[in-house]
């Protein structure tokens, strides 16, 4: 029998080693897997590479993981925010490596990893500092830059409902990076607000089929509404 | 020669002018900051679909107080609503809409725009600045037409329309039209053509505060 449901976040994250590359879903607070990030903080893995659109907000979640000195490298598109003080301090003192990626390249490179694509040409970034040193090519009169996939050891994502096969649905803009990160990581851990019986999710409405998900952790909506 | 203080359009008047130029049926992405104002001035008799990079088509106005939904936000991370017909999708789909040329217009802010339509809007390049790019580079190259909304001059009075950008580039040759607080200027084949000026501002006065050569077809 296939049963991907795990009792709690701690059990789901227990095997994450030092030096792992971890994708974390979310855009703003929508889809940010707070519980899983807190469990990662508690779990103790260090020297991590984190892939997220941003670089932490405020003092909790990803920002707390950064503040604890556990992240050596971050791959993101928009680190600078009004409340990104922990990242800002680490970056200015040279204690974290920033890999800045245009947001569409971030999304497409993650998608490419999940789809087994070895690289792709895109117009985004051509002629800018973010394409410096990268291979370019002219195709049908347009200039393109070669970009490579971003793989991960783990993905931590937040979904809405899940079943024991790992099928997932999302809620509104909380979907954001979830589906593509799930496909790009070797082990995807999804927190869900509701575990449903197999067959209860409308097959026409499943956004992430269970093939991309290895562990499902039920959580409650206490901390957020 | 003394230079008088020129009359200027307000931010609302700038937004009204951008909104006026977006036709019925368009799919539009409005950048963070000044461009967001355009949403408030889209003519009621036109159906215009707003795209938000975090995965929304058919984005509606801000909800009434107390009706915010934590999972329904825009690219600026502010609460929004969804109109009937609206849809949600993941990030790679959202950026495929941009990069694949499916958006009719995007409206972006800028530090500088060059005569050839180069855009600089993501990084000042200052040594202590923390770079952040977001979706700017994707939008700039992907939308069918890229409009820029910006003050005509920087705080120190320098023209933000420049022969070539001093700030790091966002994209090359992508800007079709610039809406400033003094004029609307089309950029095409290296020429800057003035479409509208603030009432009472002469072409000569506008040229004096602009670092690229302007053409006004109504004055030739």
Mean pLDDT of chain A: 96
Q: A107 and chain B: CB distance < 8 Å anywhere? A: yes
Asked if the Cβ–Cβ distance from A124 to B132 is below 8 Å, we say no
Among A87, A128, A170, A222, most B C-beta atoms within 10 A, so best to mutate, is A128
**Where do the domains of chain A lie?**
18-218
State how far residue A80 is from chain B, nearest Cα, in angstroms: 6
Mean pLDDT score, A203-216:
98
ipTM of the complex as predicted: 0.95
Mean pLDDT score, B14-31:
98
CB A74 within 8 A of CB A87: yes
What is the three-class DSSP state of B64? coil
CB A74 within 8 A of CB A55: yes
Mean pLDDT score, A4-24:
98
pLDDT of res. B74: 95
pLDDT bucket at B2, cuts 50 / 70 / 90: low
**Where do the domains of chain B lie?**
11-219
Quote the Cα angle for A156-A159-A165, to 5°. Answer: 90
* pLDDT tens per residue across span A141-161: 999 999 999 999 999 999 999
* Alpha carbon distance, N-terminus to C-terminus of chain A: 34
List CB contacts (< 8 A) between B132 and chain A. 77-81, 100
CATH number of A18-218: 3.40.1080.10
pLDDT of res. A221: 87
Asked if the Cβ–Cβ distance from A174 to B77 is below 8 Å, we say no
Mean pLDDT of chain B: 95
Asked if the Cβ–Cβ distance from A88 to B130 is below 8 Å, we say yes
pTM given for the model: 0.96
CB A164 within 8 A of CB A2: yes
Asked if the Cβ–Cβ distance from B72 to A173 is below 8 Å, we say yes
For chain A positions 185-204, those within 8 Å of chain B (CB to CB) are none
Question: From the candidates B13, B47, B53, B196, which is the catalytic residue?
Answer: B53
pLDDT bucket at B125, cuts 50 / 70 / 90: confident
CB atoms within 10 A of CB A113: 21
For chain A positions 116-145, those within 8 Å of chain B (CB to CB) are 122-130, 143
- On the question of pLDDT at B57 being above 50, the answer is yes
Q: A176 and chain B: CB distance < 8 Å anywhere? A: yes
List CB contacts (< 8 A) between A224 and chain B. 70
pLDDT of res. B46: 97
A143 burial (CB, 10 Å; 0-12 / 13-18 / 19+) is middle
Class of B11-219 in CATH: alpha beta
- On the question of pLDDT at A211 being above 60, the answer is yes
pLDDT of res. A19: 98
The two beta strands, B145-149 and B175-179, are parallel
State how far residue A155 is from chain B, nearest Cα, in angstroms: 15
- On the question of pLDDT at B220 being above 70, the answer is no
- A111 φψ region: left (φ > 0), alpha (ψ -120 to 50), beta (else): alpha
State how far residue B56 is from chain A, nearest Cα, in angstroms: 7
Nearest residue of A to residue B92, measured between CA atoms: A107
B69 burial (CB, 10 Å; 0-12 / 13-18 / 19+) is middle
Interatomic CA distance for residues B186 and B194, integer angstroms: 6
- Residue B204 annotated in active site: no
């Amino acid at each position: 029998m296939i049963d991907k449901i795990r009792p709690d976040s701690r059990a789901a994250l227990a095997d994450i080693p030092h030096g792992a590359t971890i994708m974390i879903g979310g855009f703003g607070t929508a889809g940010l897997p707070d519980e899983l990030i807190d469990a990662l903080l508690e779990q103790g893995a260090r020297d991590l590479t984190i892939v997220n659109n941003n670089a932490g907000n405020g003092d909790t979640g990803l920002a707390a993981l950064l503040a604890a000195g556990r992240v050596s490298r971050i791959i993101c598109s928009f680190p600078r925010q009004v409340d990104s003080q922990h990242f800002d301090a680490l970056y200015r003192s040279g204690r974290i490596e920033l890999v800045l990626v245009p947001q569409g390249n971030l999304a497409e490179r993650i998608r490419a990893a999940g789809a087994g694509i070895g690289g792709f040409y895109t117009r985004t970034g051509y002629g800018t500092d973010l394409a410096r040193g990268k291979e370019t090519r002219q195709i049908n009169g347009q200039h393109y830059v070669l970009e490579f996939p971003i793989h991960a050891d783990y993905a931590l994502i937040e979904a809405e409902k899940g079943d024991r096969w790992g099928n997932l649905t999302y809620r509104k803009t909380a979907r954001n990076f979830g589906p593509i990160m799930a496909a790009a990581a070797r082990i995807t851990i999804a927190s869900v607000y509701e575990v449903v019986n197999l067959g209860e999710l409308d097959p026409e409405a499943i956004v992430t089929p269970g093939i991309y998900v290895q562990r499902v952790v039920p959580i409650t909506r206490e901390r957020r509404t | 020669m003394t230079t008088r203080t020129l009359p200027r359009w307000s931010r609302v008047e700038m937004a009204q002018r951008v909104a006026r130029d977006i036709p019925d049926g368009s799919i539009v992405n409005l950048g963070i900051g000044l461009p967001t104002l355009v949403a408030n001035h889209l003519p009621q008799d036109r159906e215009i679909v707003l795209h938000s990079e975090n995965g929304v088509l058919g984005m509606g106005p801000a909800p009434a107080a107390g009706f915010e939904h934590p999972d329904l936000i825009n690219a600026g991370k502010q609460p929004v609503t969804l109109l009937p017909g609206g849809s949600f999708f993941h990030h790679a789909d959202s950026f495929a809409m941009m990069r694949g040329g499916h958006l009719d217009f995007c409206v972006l802010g800028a530090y500088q725009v060059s005569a050839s339509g180069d855009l600089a809007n993501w990084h000042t390049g200052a040594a202590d600045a923390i770079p952040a790019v977001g979706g700017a580079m994707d939008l700039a190259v992907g939308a069918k037409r890229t409009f820029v909304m910006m003050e005509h001059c920087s705080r120190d009075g320098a023209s933000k329309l420049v022969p070539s950008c001093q700030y790091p580039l966002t994209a090359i040759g992508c800007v079709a039209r610039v809406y400033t607080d003094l004029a609307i200027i089309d950029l095409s084949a290296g020429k800057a053509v003035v479409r509208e000026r603030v009432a009472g501002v002469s072409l000569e006065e506008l040229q004096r505060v602009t670092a690229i050569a302007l053409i006004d077809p109504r004055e030739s």
